[in-house]
Chain A
């Protein structure tokens, strides 16, 4: 059982406009049997924060082309797309930023 996890989400470069213009969100992900990974986080964001036009944010089970996902000031790709380790290990300090390319 993974405990609830506090995550600091940031949206920038225009992505915040999909979230009522709010750049920073402090959220708590509920506990679940598996550790959280990025796919699940994106689904959670879509269900709980994103109200309008999901096609401008997600495509398939990832973010749409042109959006960069950053974890703790690093490119998500550097984590081998395995964000769960980072999300659980980083705990309270974990911040996820999502920035579209200009």
Chain B
């Protein structure tokens, strides 16, 4: 035994020496090769983009198929190599966009994202691979782009775009592409583009639909001309709530690449006063003629009130992230923790566990004992669901005997909808259904997966 331990210790020491040697070698290599990408965590001034006066033989070979297009030609190709593009968001839109811009020979790509790669990103964010999980998205995207075309200069930014850095960053680029996933960032990028005089190629994708418009381009409208006021925060759905089929942002990101390339090559975009809508369900594109630039616009109008960047999270009443916000609608005694519920379950006391998620989510995973009635059915007082609920409450009452109120515990994915459901059920208790004692399970099934049952799926 002791001998075995000694032997293992010796082996370990040997390996540690090997690792140290490898690390040293890597560091030396990285030093001698400045092409290894460096992640930027703040905005720094860039050197002007050096432009070639003519195409090299290698350029001619690489780009030959697009050089043959009269719409692009040698002049267009040289224009691409002189253009810098900032991509805000390296997700479902940003990945295909960066890929096609690099492949086509754009001069410089700024790749900005504050997130790290997660497994749930990979179905739509196609530049990242399994081995990139946990890595900064900006760096992962830049490395993938470099592999595709090493002549493109890539600058990965791992930072949160804000009122303090947006103008400084955006003014260093020729074209900006908004591939972000939240409303405050859309207003921030729009205003920074108007203040810096840069065209903004903007797209979005949600569920089975996509939209694209080029803002602030050749005298056309800006985002604020169309949407002077932000939507109420509770009406905004994001991908982590609403879901999205990966290919839909894929199509819209490719569409963005097309418009960026048309602008960069000198051909020009026709989406300056136009909204392109893509309906994936019907496989249909529609072009909507938009209003012109609005003289009363707060940022691009005749008497702008926004002359420098403002606080966009305050303006929109929501955070600049697509992560879910935690609601707090109930008092402390109306909520229990997942640990509390675990002991209730273990004690096998009579109770009803009500899962208020939509059916599509219940199909993904659920707790075996739960009854599913979606929040919307409760809100709309769907009769068949109320009947079902009343039946289960009656059964509980029989089991419990006596006149106490049967306990009902409400659960959802993250504990927001379940709080709303508790409010609805509280109103119904004693009138539409028998008296019940309703409580919310704080943090929902995702808290259950994290703290109680690590084998429970997370989505």
A residues apposed to B, CB below 8 Å: 12-14, 51-52, 55-56, 64-68, 70, 73-75, 77-78, 99-102
Residues of B within 8 A of A51 (CB): 380
A75 touches B289 (CB 8 A): yes
B357 shortest CB reach to chain A, Å: 15
A25 shortest CB reach to chain B, Å: 16
Residues of A within 8 A of B392 (CB): none
Question: Are A102 and B211 also in contact (CB < 8 A) when A12-B277, A14-B206, A66-B235 are?
Answer: yes
Nearest B residue (CB) for A15 = B235
Interface size counted on chain B using CB atoms at 8 A: 33
A65 touches B289 (CB 8 A): no
Residues of B within 8 A of A66 (CB): 227, 229-232, 235-236
A102 shortest CB reach to chain B, Å: 3
A52 touches B380 (CB 8 A): yes
Residues of A within 8 A of B277 (CB): 12, 99
Residues of A within 8 A of B291 (CB): 75, 77-78
B209 touches A100 (CB 8 A): no
A16 shortest CB reach to chain B, Å: 10
Closest 10 CB pairs of A and B: A66-B231, A102-B204, A65-B229, A77-B291, A74-B289, A75-B291, A75-B290, A102-B206, A56-B235, A65-B231
B242 touches A14 (CB 8 A): yes
A87 shortest CB reach to chain B, Å: 18
Alpha-carbon separation in the docked complex, A68 to B288 (Å): 11
Alpha-carbon separation in the docked complex, A39 to B235 (Å): 21
- The 20 listed contacts between A and B (C-beta, < 8 Å) are A12-B209, A12-B279, A14-B237, A14-B242, A52-B379, A52-B380, A56-B232, A64-B235, A66-B235, A70-B288, A74-B289, A75-B288, A99-B211, A99-B277, A101-B183, A101-B204, A101-B226, A101-B231, A102-B204, A102-B206
Residues of A within 8 A of B205 (CB): 102
Alpha-carbon separation in the docked complex, A11 to B237 (Å): 16
B211 shortest CB reach to chain A, Å: 5
> Within the complex, which residue of B228, B232, B287 is in contact with A73, where a contact is CB–CB below 8 Å?
B287
Which of A52, A64, A101 gathers the greatest number of chain B CB atoms within 10 Å? A101
Residues of B within 8 A of A56 (CB): 232, 234-235
Residues of A within 8 A of B207 (CB): 14
For B278-303 the 0/1 string (1 means CB < 8 A from A) is 01000000111111000000000000
Residues of B within 8 A of A68 (CB): 226-227, 275, 288
Residues of A within 8 A of B210 (CB): 102
B288 touches A74 (CB 8 A): yes
B230 touches A65 (CB 8 A): yes
A65 touches B228 (CB 8 A): yes
A13 touches B235 (CB 8 A): no
Residues of A within 8 A of B230 (CB): 65-66
For B212-248 the 0/1 string (1 means CB < 8 A from A) is 0000000000000011111110111100001000000
B242 touches A64 (CB 8 A): no
Nearest A residue (CB) for B225 = A77
Question: Are A64 and B231 also in contact (CB < 8 A) when A12-B209, A13-B206, A102-B206 are?
Answer: yes
Nearest B residue (CB) for A55 = B232
Which of A13, A74, A102 gathers the greatest number of chain B CB atoms within 10 Å? A102
Nearest B residue (CB) for A65 = B229
B288 touches A73 (CB 8 A): yes
Residues of B within 8 A of A102 (CB): 204-206, 209-211
Residues of A within 8 A of B228 (CB): 65
Nearest A residue (CB) for B211 = A102
Alpha-carbon separation in the docked complex, A66 to B236 (Å): 9
B333 shortest CB reach to chain A, Å: 28
B227 touches A101 (CB 8 A): yes
Residues of A within 8 A of B235 (CB): 56, 64, 66, 100
Residues of B within 8 A of A67 (CB): 231
Alpha-carbon separation in the docked complex, A65 to B316 (Å): 11
Alpha-carbon separation in the docked complex, A75 to B292 (Å): 10
Alpha-carbon separation in the docked complex, A51 to B380 (Å): 9
> Within the complex, which residue of B211, B232, B242, B380 is in contact with A65, where a contact is CB–CB below 8 Å?
B232
Residues of B within 8 A of A65 (CB): 227-232
Alpha-carbon separation in the docked complex, A70 to B276 (Å): 12
A13 touches B211 (CB 8 A): yes
Alpha-carbon separation in the docked complex, A100 to B227 (Å): 10
Alpha-carbon separation in the docked complex, A99 to B289 (Å): 14
Alpha-carbon separation in the docked complex, A36 to B204 (Å): 33
For B184-220 the 0/1 string (1 means CB < 8 A from A) is 0010000000000000000011110111000000000
Residues of B within 8 A of A75 (CB): 226, 275, 288-291
Residues of B within 8 A of A101 (CB): 183, 186, 204, 211, 226-227, 231
Residues of A within 8 A of B379 (CB): 52
